[in-house]
Structure 1
Amino acid sequence: MPLHPALTSAKQPSHPWVGWSGCGRVIGTLLALVLAGFGALALWSQAPGGPLAAAALAGLWVTWVVTTGLLASSDPRSPLAWGLLAVGCLLLGLWWTSITPSNQRNWTSDVSRSLRVERKGSQLVLHNVRNFDWRSDDDYTARWESRRYDLDSLRSVDMALSYWMGPAIAHTLVSFGFADGRQLVFSVEVRKERGEQYSTVAGFFKRYELALVAADERDILGVRARVRGEDLYLYRVHMSPESIRALFEQYLDEAEALRAAPRFYNTLTANCTTIVYAMMERIVTGLPLDWRLLLSGYLPSYVEDAGALTPGYSLQELQARGRITDRILQLPPGADFSAAIRQGLPVLAR
């Protein structure tokens, strides 16, 4: 027998996650998870007082967010729950914005000085070029030099990759060659304070300032192979003379900008590869964004796709002939470092 129309038209109960109540629960839960994760990692990375104090503050923050988040999800219209959550976010935001970069800290010796540039036409004097003698990470002879260069004598640019954490992650360095055979390397690095250890996670959370180091190849490539046990590869990058000079001047501009206004290093957005990409993008328009800019160990294939590696060789051949780790380790004292590491490196004759 058919049901009475009044019964068939009766309103059916809605699903508990439908409507305002359900949306509020979802929003509250997601917001609590994001805030709890971000705040805990930020406090762990930045809070003063040592690891125990940082862990305690991170724990208190998670407890606060979870508690207020649960209250908000159980009663999305509760002004008290959302108000308590907002107060916590406001306090965290005020603390976060108060963290600003500085050039005045107790830096480790290898990044203790900033590159200073004097220009007069094509003539340069670069102050604080690093040329350390390394025996270990803790045993070295510090030497900072002033060197003269002529931009008109720039002849080449090479990309060095130093692998320190598997095949996907490498540190990117750029070396410029001059007509007299000298090489100058620029390296974007984490500017650590004394006693500070590098953490990839902390690098997302304003833990380290950014340093731009100009150094002798014997110093900055040698220490990575001989002292830190990293695996190094060198590739000639083929660019027009005008582009090589423009890139060199981009490095000088970056160095002067950092002296005037320090910046934070960021593991994702402001690191040894992304900053080089940003400089290159000002010179060569249309450079694509690519996952290999983040997984910098695969950067050679990106440069090859851009047509900037030596033609006539496969990438595997360039990698094999460009591996300089053993050459560095076998170099006798007093040898011409830059010439020796380039033996067998494929290049185009000009």
Structure 2
Amino acid sequence: MSINTRAMLSAGLKLLLSLFILCAALWGSLALYYQLPLPMPWLALALLLWLGLTVLALLRLWRISVWQGFFMYLVMHAALLTWWYNLTPSNQHLWEDDVAQMTYGEVQGNQVTLYNVRNFDWHSETDYTARWETRHYDLSKLTSVDMLTSHWGMDAIAHVLVSFGFADDQFVTFSVEIRKKQGQQFSEVAGFFKQYELSILATDERDAIAVRPNVRGEDTYLYRIDMPAAIRRQLFLSYIEQANQLLEEPRFYNTVTANCTTLVFGMMQHISGGLPLDSRLLLTGYLPSYVAELDGLTDGFDLAQLRTAGRITERSKQAQQSPNYSKIIREGVPGW
């Protein structure tokens, strides 16, 4: 091997390892930023120390020995990962009011009791009447399941809710939520770094659905899901099972792997299996097209028709104070 070839291979290896170190160090910086329990300026000093050691490892890699520099960074990152994997979620924090309680349930035959069903009366984001209720449902009367997508700026991104209807005119909506601690704000980036715990909330439809178009100014769509009765029942019970499990074993929210869509996808995979992975499970605003391709929406209508008829934004605002909120928002929705 010629000297020039050997030098090129050495430079290429250094560039490859340097790129790996820089990407890993960026991840480490964000992990430290979001999780180190230090106030400023101590947090800034800790980040500077981390970045300084990274630069030192890169200098050793380029000037002294490739493997010495790389090994130095691996030791640093191994220590970081040891700390990272010892961070554990907890249900024992001071939470924001809307996630202060956790839904859980009991099932005896067809009779279901849900505790801590949220039924807030929202006047604004900061002005509301808080209510947490115990409600009872008869699974033999479970007749429908709806998917709702609520958008707040981009077509590709939406919050997804699932609502179950019963023959006695009861509806209950399940929403996978982050549990914000008091004073926290939501960040998609922070959602990758164990910043929030995960929660499954059962709510009244005039709470979790209405708050989005009526108070937050979101654009909300409702789709009737064509689901066999046995699968519908299993999905309802799976929500209760998952909620009960979170009460006993808290989990961190993750923007990609544990969010409002992937958690439901996991439930459905467990129930029926065979569901394909798809980018629309992450680009949640496009989820209705994914469900349509699986023949999960109302027959006889194309997706554009279902989207137009299912846009409940204005109906929700008009029905805000009506006792028939659930019926009004479904007026004209195919399948109803």
Common fold by TM > 0.5: yes
Match of 1:169 among 157, 162, 165: 157
Q: Which runs of 5+ in 1 are unaligned?
A: 1-10
* Distance in 1 between residues matched to 2:308 and 2:176, nearest whole Å: 25
Structure 2: which amino acid aligns with 1:96?
W
The residue correspondences of 1:234-273 to structure 2 (distance < 5 A) are: 234-273=222-261
Match of 1:42 among 31, 38, 42: 31
* Distance in 1 between residues matched to 2:303 and 2:233, nearest whole Å: 26
Q: Which TM-score applies when normalising by structure 1?
A: 0.91
* Distance in 2 between residues matched to 1:180 and 1:52, nearest whole Å: 58
Q: Which runs of 5+ in 2 are unaligned?
A: none
Residues 207, 264 of structure 1: 8 Å contact kept = yes
* Distance in 2 between residues matched to 1:332 and 1:202, nearest whole Å: 33
Q: How far 1:33 moved relative to its partner?
A: 1.0
* Distance in 2 between residues matched to 1:186 and 1:73, nearest whole Å: 54
Structure 2: which amino acid aligns with 1:36?
A
* Cα pair distance change 1:51/1:178, threshold 3 Å: farther
Residues 28, 69 of structure 1: 8 Å contact kept = no
**Aligned-residue CA RMSD in angstroms?**
1.8
* Distance in 2 between residues matched to 1:340 and 1:263, nearest whole Å: 36
1:299 matches 2:287:
yes
1:30 matches 2:15:
no
* Cα pair distance change 1:78/1:298, threshold 3 Å: closer
Match of 2:111 among 118, 123, 129: 123
Residues 47, 53 of structure 1: 8 Å contact kept = no
Q: How far 1:115 moved relative to its partner?
A: 1.1
State the Cα deviation string for residues 23-81 of structure 1 (Å, max 9, x = none).
Answer: 641343023112211111111222223465444433332222122123123333564x3
Structure 1: which amino acid aligns with 2:199?
A
* Distance in 2 between residues matched to 1:242 and 1:177, nearest whole Å: 14
State the aligned residue count.
Answer: 336
Partner of 1:4 in structure 2?
A: none
1:233 matches 2:215:
no
Residues 26, 73 of structure 1: 8 Å contact kept = no
* Distance in 2 between residues matched to 1:241 and 1:223, nearest whole Å: 29
Structure 2: which amino acid aligns with 1:13?
I
1:307 match: secondary structure: coil
* Cα pair distance change 1:263/1:182, threshold 3 Å: same
Residues 214, 320 of structure 2: 8 Å contact kept = no
* Distance in 2 between residues matched to 1:78 and 1:347, nearest whole Å: 64
* Cα pair distance change 1:83/1:285, threshold 3 Å: closer
1:14 matches 2:8:
no
Q: Could you tell which deviates more after superposition, 280-289 or 154-163?
A: 280-289
State the Cα deviation string for residues 66-107 of structure 1 (Å, max 9, x = none).
Answer: 22123123333564x345323422331222122110011111
Structure 2: which amino acid aligns with 1:33?
L
* Distance in 2 between residues matched to 1:17 and 1:208, nearest whole Å: 48
Partner of 1:104 in structure 2?
A: 92
Residues 210, 320 of structure 2: 8 Å contact kept = no
1:14 match: secondary structure: helix
Match of 2:195 among 207, 217, 220: 207
Q: Which TM-score applies when normalising by structure 2?
A: 0.95
* Distance in 2 between residues matched to 1:332 and 1:109, nearest whole Å: 21
* Distance in 2 between residues matched to 1:249 and 1:157, nearest whole Å: 13
1:73 match: secondary structure: helix
Match of 2:53 among 64, 73, 97: 64
Q: Could you tell which deviates more after superposition, 32-41 or 196-205?
A: 32-41
Tell which structure's C-alpha radius of gyration is larger.
1
Structure 2: which amino acid aligns with 1:239?
M
* Distance in 2 between residues matched to 1:330 and 1:252, nearest whole Å: 32
* Cα pair distance change 1:133/1:51, threshold 3 Å: farther
